[in-house]
Amino acid sequence: MDNTTATAALQRPMDLGADLVLLSISKFLAGNGTLLGGAVVGPEGFIEDIRWNTTEFIGAIMQPMEAWMTLQYLETLSMRMEKHSANTMAVAQYLKKHPKVVHVNYSGLIDHPQHDLACRQMNGHGGLLSFVLKGGMGGASTVMNSLKMIVHAVTFGTSRTICMHPPTITHEHLTPKERLKAGIDDGLIRLSVGLENPEDLIRDLDRALI
Which parts of the chain have pLDDT scores under 70?
none
pLDDT at 62 (0 to 100) = 84
pLDDT at 210 (0 to 100) = 87
Q: Spell out the domains of the chain, with CATH numbers in brackets.
A: 7-75 (no CATH), 78-208 (3.90.1150.10)
The full DSSP string for 111-158 is TSTTHHHHHHH-SS--SEEEEEETTHHHHHHHHHHH-SSSEE-S---S
pLDDT at 187 (0 to 100) = 96
pLDDT at 179 (0 to 100) = 92
* Cα 198 from Cα 88, distance rounded (Å): 8
Between the CA atoms of 16, 22, 28 and 34, what dihedral angle is there, to the nearest 10 degrees?
A: 160
In DSSP terms, 39 is beta-bridged to 23
Percentage of residues of the chain with pLDDT beyond 70: 100
Q: Are strands 162-164 and 151-152 parallel, antiparallel or unpaired?
A: parallel
What is the pTM (predicted TM-score) of this model? 0.92
Q: What is the pLDDT of residues 80-129, one digit of tens each?
A: 999 999 999 999 999 999 999 999 999 999 999 999 999 999 999 999 99
pLDDT at 51 (0 to 100) = 82
pLDDT at 138 (0 to 100) = 94
169 contacts 190 by C-beta, under 8 angstroms: no
